[in-house]
Structure 1
Amino acid sequence: MLSCLLGCALLGGVGYALRGWHLEAVSQRPLLAVSFDHLDHRTQPCADCHHNFTDDTGGGPCYHCHKVTPAIAADIEGTFHDFCRDCHVEARLQGGESGPLRSCAGCHP
């Protein structure tokens, strides 16, 4: 029983350390360039992507906050991919045009 508790404590500590190392790596690595044409997205309300227009969190590019805020930075890549993909999937399901869904090169030149 004691060894089980010690094992759990050790795993928790390792997980905490890995998260710290991951945050450090994310904050230092460059983000891949993204090919994004605002004209292709003109039918979408601006606030769907630019939440900062409605919640007064700033006016710069997304990564200015999302890359340096530890609570957000840990999953910046996953968050952005999910955000774009979910919108494109929804458009495709409704029979409309949609952007790339699976090809990295479809968004990252």
Structure 2
Amino acid sequence: GIFSLRQGERVESKRNNRTVYHNLYYTAIACTSMTRIQAQLRVYSPPGDEPPPDDMIVLTIAQVIFPAGADAFMDVSHVLPFPGDPTSNNYQDHMPDFTVPYIVGLGH
């Protein structure tokens, strides 16, 4: 899907005696009914990688989990940021004009 990222946070965790790094972001999944589902998005990244500025727009391939009574959780396998400076006033002028994010769902 295509999402705007906010509040990027660098997280370090231990797994099998290794240190694993990822960035956590907040976003929303917009539905055709014009409702929004709050979501947290996790992107694994190399050591030293810093989260991009707020409002960066990205194309992602992710597994999404919808736990009852909680925000959706997106575990990203691929993330492709749209070029440009998200802090610029005309950044969104060069983005695809979707009224809702484009999501392809597979599974049960």
State the TM-score, normalized to the length of structure 1: 0.24
Structure with greater helix percent: 1
TM-score (norm 2): 0.24
- Larger-Rg structure: 1
